[in-house]
Amino acid sequence: MARYLRIRSIVKTERTDAHERIKAICGFMPDGSHWTLTHEDAVSQVENRTCAFYIERPGDKRYDVIVGMDFHAHKYLKTDADRDQP
């Protein structure tokens, strides 16, 4: 069963392409320890079902993070509520 982890912060780049915008994602494990994953590692863990990630917005709205793919087959992270390319 995949770990279900909340993303608390995102390390962004200055790039504009969806697959290059996120450098890393960060959060806390249930035991309080900090975790950080590169964009590539996070995509891999979602695809392999090792981890599932989510974000929370004001009003306790929770959105699952999924892997999207652009026209050039570049993979990127997005929420299930995002438009085609965030």
In a domain, 52, yes or no: yes
Compute the distance between CA of residue 85 and CA of residue 82 in angstroms, rounded to an integer: 7
The total domain count for the chain is: 1
Q: Is the pLDDT of residue 86 over 70?
A: no
Q: What is the mean pLDDT of residues 60-85?
A: 86
Q: What is the pairing mode between strands 51-57 and 3-6?
A: parallel
Q: What is the mean pLDDT of the chain?
A: 89
> Coil, strand or helix: which one is 67?
strand
Q: Which domain holds residue 68?
A: 3-79
What Å distances lie between residue 59 and 7, 62, 72, CA to CA?
A: 16, 9, 36
Q: What percent of the chain stands above pLDDT 70? A: 92
pLDDT tens for 42-64 read 999 999 999 999 999 888 799 99
Residues 11, 64: Cα–Cα separation, whole Å = 18
Is residue 86 included in any domain, yes or no? no
Residue 80's pLDDT is 82
Instruction: Read off the pLDDT of each residue in 7-21 and give the average, rounded to a whole number.
Output: 82
